[in-house]
Chain A
Amino acid sequence: MPIWTLFGLSRGTATTDWPADLQNDGQQNVFGMPRYHPEKCETGCKECVAVCLPGALSLKQDDEVRLNVDYGRCVACQLCVEVCPTGAMEATNDWAFAVHERDDLRWKQALRSPEAGKLKSRVEGAFKRSLHIRHVDAGSCNGCESELQALNNPFYNLHRLGIFFTPSPRFADVLLVTGTVTYAMRDALLATYDAMPAPKWVMAMGTCAVSGGIAAGGYSSGHGLDGVLPVDVWLPGCPPNPAAIIHALLMLLERAPQRVHNGQMDTSRYE
C-alpha cells in the first residue's frame, strides 16, 4: 500500500507566494471587468447596452458621460467589449474588484484618491491576523463554490494566511454569501447570520450576491444581499477567481488596500 505522506513530500511545494510576491497569482489570461473609456464612447451608439444581459450598462441622459456602468451587475461576459465599435470598452485582467461601499462599483468621473491613514477601521484590531468564515450558498450556479473550494487547494493554501472556513456560525467572524438569495434560502440565510456572535461581518461574493446578476428578479430569484443583510465587502465577478477572493478577505482584514474606487481600478501600485 502506498505511503501518501511520502508521496506528498515528493511532490514538493505547490503553494504560490502571492500576494507577498506579486508575480504568481495563478490568473494568467483570466479576464476581469471591462474598463470603460468614456472619451471613446460615441453619441447615438447603444450596441453594448443591447447585449448587456444583467443590465450593468445603461444609457445616461444629458451628460457628457454617456453610460451608467455598474460593475456590481457585471458578469464579465465580455460581450460589450466585442460589440463596441470604438474600443470604449476594453478587455482587462481587472478582477480584484472588492470594495467596501456598494457605490464604489459604479463608474464615476472623478477618481477619488483613497485617503491613506483615514481608512475606517472595521475590524478594530481584534481579527487582523486570523479570520473564520462561514459560507452560505443562497442560490448560486455553483461556480462561486467551486472557486471557494479551490482556496484550500495546495496552490492557494488559504490557511497560510490565517483564514479558515468553519462549519458552525457560532465560531464565525464573517458570513460569506454566494447566490441571488432565492425565496427559499432567505430564511436559512438570516438564521445563520443571527446565529453568529457579534462582532460579525458580511461579504457578498459574486455578482449574484451583489445584485442578483443574470438571475436577478423573476418569480423565485432575489436581488442579492442589498437590503437583506448589512454588507462589509462587495466582490462582484462571475465567479470571482480565487485570487480575487483572497484579495477581498485580506482587504476586510486591512491587510490589502481596496483597489477600485468610483468603478475604476487603481493600477499604479501594481504596474
Chain B
Amino acid sequence: MKGVEEIQLASTELQPACEALLRAGGRMQMVWSWFPDGRDMEVCYLASRQPRESFVLWRSRSENGVLPSLTRITPAISWHEREMSDLCGVRFQGHPKLNPLILHAGTQPVAPPLSPRYPKDTPLPFVRQPAHVPKVVGPDIQELPFGPVRAGVMESAQFLFFYLGEHILHYQPRLFFKHRGMEKRFEGLEPALGVVLAERVSGVGSFAHALAYCQAIESACDCVIPPRAEWVRTLLAEFERLYNHLHYFGHLADTTTLKVGHAEGMLLEERVKQISARLCGSRFLRNLLQPGGLRHDLNTYTALSDDLQKLHQDIRRYLEQLSRTSSYLDRLITTGILNRQIALDQGATGPIERASGLDYDLRRDHPYAAYGSVQLQVPVREIGDANARAEIRAAEIETSLAMIQRLLANVQHGAFCASYQTVPNGQGLGWCESPRGALFYAVHLDSNGRLARVKVRSPSFSNWRIFQYTVHDSNMMDYAINEASFGLTIAGCDR
C-alpha cells in the first residue's frame, strides 16, 4: 500500500508492537479483517506515527480465528475488535467486554456475515432479544430508554439513561439500528462503480467518502491524478466542511433555544448547498468523483465569487453574533468536558480531539489532493468543553473560506481525469479529513481486479465511542446541547 509501511506480525508479536507504538507517540487508527482468496482470514492494524511520517500497517494471520486483544493496551480499538468479532468471527482473547456491538441481540447468523461462508443476499434471522444492559442498582434510580424513533427529524438510535432527578448516573448509546451492511455491498464490484456506494455511506459526508475511496483505488492501481482534479477535490472538500459546520451551528443554536440563530444557521447551510448544486449538479457534491479524477468538470459560474463574498460576510456576522450571546455561551461553557487523556486513549478525532488539546489534522499531517501546497492553520483548544468544540468549528469555517478564496484565485486548468488499469490483487489506503474527522478507506482487490474487501472507518464510529464519557455524571438539561456540540452522524458509524 502506498504511503504505508507494512509489517507482518505473528499473533504473539502484536501486543509488544502495540505497546512500542504507543510509547513512540503513535496511535491506532483502524483495524479490519478480510479473507484473501476467500480462504484464511488476515487481520490488518493501521496505525499513525508522527505527522508527515507514513502510516504503519501490521498484518497478522490468526490461528484458528483467535487473536490476542489489544483493547487493554489501547482502548481506542475496542469497538473495532467487537465489530470483527460480530461480522468476521474473530475471537479476541482478553477483551474486557466482548458482547455484540453491530449485530443486535437476537440475530442468528449461520456464519459471520462478512465471511465467504455467509450465503449471499440472505437476510439475518432475527427475533429481538433484550439488549445487554449494565446493572445500575440503587434507591430511586430511574431508567429511560429513548429511541430508536426520536422526536423530530432524527437518525435512529437508542439512548439509555440511568438517572436520579436531573442527574445522569450512567449513559449508554445503543447504535447500529441502521446497519445496512455497506462494506459487504462493495464486494465483487468494479472499482469504478464502488464510488456510487461510497457516496451513500454517509449522506452529509458524501464527498469525503468518495474522495477517500477514490484515493484508495488510485493508490491500489498506481494512478496519478491531474492537478485540475486535485484542485477541484480540495475546493469541494472545503465546501462540504462549510455546509456541515453551518448546519452544526444552526443545530447548536436550536438546542440552546436561540430560534433566530437556528434559522440563520440553517439558511446559511442552504445557501452553500445551492451553490454546491450549481457547481456540480448535486446538493451533496455527489456524482462528480471517480477513481482517476473527476467524471466531469466543474461548472464555475460567473456569479460564484460574488455569491461567496456575500456568504462570507453573512457567516462572519452570524458567528460573531453567536460569540457575543451570553445565554448561548452560558449553556456551552463547561458542558460535556472531554479531557485530553480520554480523547487520546479512546481515539477521538476531528474537531472533537482538537478541542481537547490534540493537534492533529490529516490535511496538514498526511496531505492528500492539493493540501500539500496550501497553507493551513489548524485551530486547537485545550479545555474540551462544548464551547471549545464550537470554537474549533467556527475557526475551521474561517479557514475553509480563506482556503476556498485562495484556491479560486489560483485556478488549475487542464485535464480532469487520468486513465488507469486496475491492478489484480492491488491494495490501497485512502484517507481524508472529513468535516467530522479522520476518515479511512482500505481496499483489497481480487485476482480479477474487482473489489474483494472495502473497509470504512468513519469519524463518527470513533466519536460516538468517546461521547458517552462526557455524559456519565452530567445533567439531563445539558444532554441535547452536549450531543449537538459533538456533531455526530449515525449513518457513517452504523454503515
> Which of B156, B247, B261, B277 has a CB less than 8 Å from the CB of A136?
B156
Cβ A213 vs Cβ B200 within 8 A: yes
B417 vs chain A, min Cβ distance (A): 12
Sort chain B's interface into a size bin: 35 or more
Q: Which of B449-495 contact A (CB under 8 A)?
A: 489-492
Check B109 for interface membership: any CB of A closer than 8 A: yes
User: Of the candidates B128, B200, B266, which one forms a contact with A143 in the assembled complex, judged by CB atoms under 8 Å apart?
Assistant: B200
Residues on A with C-beta less than 8 A from B92 are none
Q: Given contacts A31-B287, A219-B123, A241-B283, are A214 and B200 in contact (CB under 8 A)?
A: yes
Whole-angstrom CA separation of A154 from B271 in the bound complex: 11
For B325, give its contact among A2, A136, A149 (CB under 8 Å). A2
Q: Is B27 an interface residue (CB 8 A)?
A: no
Question: How far does the alpha carbon of A142 sit from the alpha carbon of B201 in the complex, in Å?
Answer: 9
The A/B interface has a contact count, at CB < 8 Å, of: 204
Q: Within 8 Å of chain B (Cβ to Cβ): is A146?
A: yes
Query: Is the Cβ of B149 less than 8 Å from the Cβ of A192?
Result: yes
Q: Are B203 and A143 in contact (CB under 8 A)?
A: yes
Answer yes or no: B159 CB below 8 A from chain A CBs: no
Q: Which of A128-176 contact B (CB under 8 A)?
A: 135-150, 152-156, 165, 167, 169
With A79-B196, A218-B181 as known contacts, state yes or no: A142 contacts B202, CB within 8 Å: yes
Q: Are A219 and B325 in contact (CB under 8 A)?
A: no
Determine if A215 and B200 form an interchain contact, defined as CB atoms under 8 angstroms apart.
yes
Cβ-neighbour of B153 out of A135, A138, A187 (below 8 A): A135
- Whether A30 sits at the interface, judged by CB under 8 Å, is yes
Q: Give the dominant DSSP class at B's interface.
A: loop
Does any Cβ of B come within 8 Å of A75's Cβ? yes
Q: Are A53 and B177 in contact (CB under 8 A)?
A: no
1/0 contact string of A204-220 vs chain B (CB within 8 Å): 00000000011101111
Cβ 8 A contact of A153, one of B124, B149, B156, B267: B267
Any chain A CB within 8 A of the CB of B321?
A: yes
Are B287 and A77 within 8 A (Cβ)? yes
The answer to whether A29 and B281 touch (CB under 8 A), given A221-B180, A221-B181, A238-B200, is: yes
Given contacts A135-B153, A185-B156, contact A218 B266 (CB under 8 A): no
A218 and B184 within 8 A (CB): yes
Distance to closest chain A CB from B313 (angstroms):
12
Contact mask B175-202 → A, CB, 8 Å, 1/0?
0111111101100010001001101111
A152: chain B residues at CB < 8 Å are 266
A-facing residues in B407-449 (Cβ within 8 Å)? none
Known: A26-B274, A146-B203, A154-B263. A139 touches B281 (CB 8 A): no
B-side contacts of A136, CB under 8 Å: 149, 156
B267 contacts A29, C-beta separation under 8 Å:
no
Interface presence of A116 (CB below 8 A)? no
Note all chain A residues with C-beta closer than 8 A to B269.
150, 153
B149-186 vs A, Cβ < 8 Å mask (1 yes, 0 no): 10111111000000000000000000011111110110
Question: Is residue A258 within 8 Å, beta carbon to beta carbon, of the partner chain?
Answer: no
Residue in A26, A53, A141, A149 whose CB lies within 8 Å of B202: A141
A109 / chain B contacts, CB cutoff of 8 Å: none
A44 CB → nearest B CB, Å: 21
18 further A-B contacts with Cβ under 8 Å, apart from A153-B263, A154-B267, are A7-B260, A8-B263, A14-B267, A29-B278, A53-B193, A78-B281, A79-B196, A136-B149, A138-B156, A146-B203, A153-B270, A179-B178, A183-B124, A188-B156, A219-B181, A238-B200, A238-B286, A239-B203
In the A-B complex, list the 3 residue pairs whose CB atoms are closest, starting with the nearest.
A143-B203, A167-B151, A153-B266
Query: Which of A's residues lie within 8 Å of B, judged by CB?
Result: 1-2, 4-5, 7-8, 11, 14, 26-31, 51, 53, 75-79, 82, 135-150, 152-156, 165, 167, 169, 179-180, 182-185, 187-189, 191-192, 213-215, 217-222, 238-239, 241
The 19 listed contacts between A and B (C-beta, < 8 Å) are A1-B326, A29-B299, A53-B196, A75-B196, A75-B200, A77-B287, A82-B296, A141-B200, A141-B491, A142-B489, A143-B284, A144-B203, A148-B153, A152-B266, A154-B266, A179-B156, A217-B121, A221-B180, A221-B181
